[in-house]
Amino acid sequence: MTFLVPLPVVIPLLGAAITLLLTRRPRAQRTVSLTALSATLLVSLALLMLSTQDGALAVAVGGWGPLGIVLVADQLAALMLVVSSAVTLCVLVYSIGQGLVDGAEDTPLSVYHPTYLILTAGVTNAFLSGDLFNLYVGFEILLVASYVLLTLGSTENRIRAGTTYVVVSLLSSLIFLTALGLVYAATGTLNMAQLVDRLDALPDNLRLVLQGMLLLAFGIKAAVFPLSSWLPDSYPTAPAPVTAVFAGLLTKVGVYAIIRTETLLFPGGRVADLLLVVALLTMVVGILGAVAQSDIKRLLSFTLISHIGYLLLGIGLSTTAGLSASIFYTAHHIVVQTTLFLVAGLIELRGGATALDRLGGLARLSPLLGVLFLVPALNLAGIPPFSGFLGKVGLFQAAAGVGGWLAWALVAGGAVTSLLTLYAIARVWNLAFWRTPNPAMPGVPPAEGSALECVPAVSVSVQGAMVPVSAGDERVFESSAPSSDSDSDSDSEDGPTLLPAMMVAPTIALVALGVALTVLAGPLFGIAESSAKDLIGRDAYVQTVADLPEVGQ
């Protein structure tokens, strides 16, 4: 069944190529991207099942053995693949819904689909990669795609935010590339399984330098505290679905890379304590930043940074319990953070803004929106019985198992962060959902706000697809914007007050997925624990790659 392993990378890339050819046919584009991402999800599920039953699967692309590109789907990679492809699929549906409603210059969908699929391919490539250079290529694929997505429409704000983002990302990539050069010079390979032995043989100080450079590069990508200030500046300006998928996936790819390198390449290193200190600072400083914000998207960006600290906590403990809790928490956090950004997009649509001082009374205007926000928000804050609570308990238990003042300081810091997250969330709830509606908001007084949510998806998509697209328009927008005045008029009138079904449905699906993580926490923790054992044992991974046929066979 090893033929399945490259598919999560190949399918989105093929889809990207096809959608690029279909630039002028939005409907076909949509079908292709939806099919590609659904297929990716199915393959990922199959990979998770196979790797859980029979252990890791590996493929040497082109038959070059450890010299060339090796893709390895072990449990950790497969779990991340499943969560990430489920999330990307939901966000794609959401963005299609938003494109149909907005019809605005914000979403030139003809570029959107191929870029989005390439982003997905980069993420899956990074997860599956069995050598450091391919990991670098995966990062570059997803980063270049993210540059384009972040500056979609190239408005002034997005260009400003995009510039910071691109420059910081470039710097981290250069550090990564330099580290690769040093690793290769020191060991003569970049294949992770081969590096295991060769790095162990190196002098301690040299290993520390290599580890430090890799950590620095991944730390920037994962938005770890001193290296995180680029994130809240750049993420909130992008369109809601783009921010959502960035928040859910991009930083987690960095975290995944840290998990891989810390366990497989540099186990028991001297930087574990440093990681713990950084984890504490990331948690506390991040959440203090969130408390000071007055815009929902920026606030969520800061909670995103802060909760990266929890993931680092488990990695820094470097015990099986810590790692498995970290892996569980990563899966949980991908889903919850993406959901919250999608809901922020819905709030923007319904309330006309994401600035807290311009919102109010949303709970009465749209009870469904209230529920959609509250469930993932409580989940993020770690209120029992949600998965956020279970993940935090797992992390705290692991820290208590290790003991020592630093571990206990982290438990205290984690608890404070959790409470402050609750405070930040409660503040959003009070200001945006509870007080009297702002008269400046669209649709106030309410005109049966919640009844509007039952626009059937079919009619929406048909309506959008039937609209002729003017051929002279350079950027072909998918929806009704370019022509047909009557249609776009009715759209723009209803747009702000209606919550379109195509946007609500994927959000509900993600909220449900977040709740499902709670219900399925038992089996999920089982998978997380056995992959943590594999990570710490290292032999299974090395053996899988060593069993690959040599060159020419």
Partner 1 sequence: MTPNLVYIVLVGVLFAAGVVLLLERSLTRILIGVILLGHGANVLILGGGRAGGTPIVGTVPTEDMSDPLPQAMILTAIVITLAVTAFLLALAYRSRDISGHDEVQDDVEDRRIVVLAERDAMPLTDDQDQDAA
Per DSSP (E only), the strands in 203-362 are: none
The interface mask with partner 1, positions 284-303, x = CB under 8 A, is --------xxxx--x-----
Residues 355-394 close enough to bind partner 1 by CB under 8 A: 355-357, 360
Integer angstrom CA distances of residue 288 from 198, 296, 340, 380, 505: 42, 15, 19, 16, 33
What are the backbone angles phi and psi of residue 23, rounded to the nearest 5°? -50, -35
Q: Is 184 in the site for partner 1 (CB under 8 A)?
A: yes
Closest among 92, 82, 107, 80 to 32, alpha carbons compared = 92
Q: Is 13 in the site for partner 1 (CB under 8 A)?
A: no
Nearer residue to partner 1 within complex by CB, 146 or 263 = 146
Per CB under 8 A, the list member of 102, 140, 262, 529 interacting with partner 1 is 140
Assess contact for 337 and 300: CB atoms under 8 A: yes
Number of residues lying near partner 1 (CB under 8 A): 51
Per CB under 8 A, the list member of 25, 27, 160, 364 interacting with partner 1 is 160
Q: How far apart are CA 2 and CA 18, in angstroms?
A: 25
Q: How far apart are CA 306 and CA 225, in angstroms?
A: 8
Name 501's bridge partners: none
Nearer residue to partner 1 within complex by CB, 302 or 541 = 302
Q: How far apart are CA 512 and CA 362, in angstroms?
A: 21
Assess contact for 405 and 280: CB atoms under 8 A: no
Per CB under 8 A, the list member of 42, 45, 46, 177 interacting with partner 1 is 177
Assess contact for 542 and 131: CB atoms under 8 A: no
Residues 46-105 close enough to bind partner 1 by CB under 8 A: 67
Q: Is 435 in the site for partner 1 (CB under 8 A)?
A: yes
* Binding segment (CB under 8 A) for partner 1, from list 326-334, 345-353, 379-387, 424-432: 424-432
Closest among 332, 190, 222, 344 to 286, alpha carbons compared = 222
The verdict on whether omega for the bond into residue 385 sits within 30 degrees of 0, i.e. cis, is yes
Q: How far apart are CA 56 and CA 533, in angstroms?
A: 13
Assess contact for 36 and 14: CB atoms under 8 A: yes
The DSSP secondary-structure symbol of 404 reads S
Q: Is 551 in the site for partner 1 (CB under 8 A)?
A: no
- Residue 149: CA atoms inside 13 Å, Cβ hemisphere, count? 28
Question: What are the start-end ranges of the H helices in 188-295?
Answer: 192-200, 204-222, 230-234, 240-245, 251-260, 272-291
* Binding segment (CB under 8 A) for partner 1, from list 81-89, 108-116, 133-141, 269-277: 133-141
Assess contact for 432 and 346: CB atoms under 8 A: no
Q: Is 436 in the site for partner 1 (CB under 8 A)?
A: yes
Per CB under 8 A, the list member of 10, 216, 233, 367 interacting with partner 1 is 233
The interface mask with partner 1, positions 439-458, x = CB under 8 A, is x-------------------
Closest distance between partner 1 and the C-beta of residue 147, in Å? 6
Question: Quick count: other Cβ atoms within 10 Å of Cβ 10?
Answer: 16
Q: Is 430 in the site for partner 1 (CB under 8 A)?
A: yes
Nearer residue to partner 1 within complex by CB, 96 or 344 = 344
Q: Is 429 in the site for partner 1 (CB under 8 A)?
A: no
* Binding segment (CB under 8 A) for partner 1, from list 112-120, 162-170, 242-250, 267-275: 162-170
Q: Is 9 in the site for partner 1 (CB under 8 A)?
A: no
Nearer residue to partner 1 within complex by CB, 153 or 526 = 153
Per CB under 8 A, the list member of 42, 104, 137, 416 interacting with partner 1 is 137
* Binding segment (CB under 8 A) for partner 1, from list 140-148, 456-464, 528-536, 545-553: 140-148
Assess contact for 417 and 283: CB atoms under 8 A: yes
* Sites of contact with partner 1 (CB under 8 A): 67, 133, 137, 140, 144, 147-148, 151, 154, 156-157, 159-164, 166-167, 170-171, 173-174, 177-178, 180-182, 184-186, 190, 232-233, 236, 292-295, 298, 355-357, 360, 427, 430-431, 435-436, 438-439
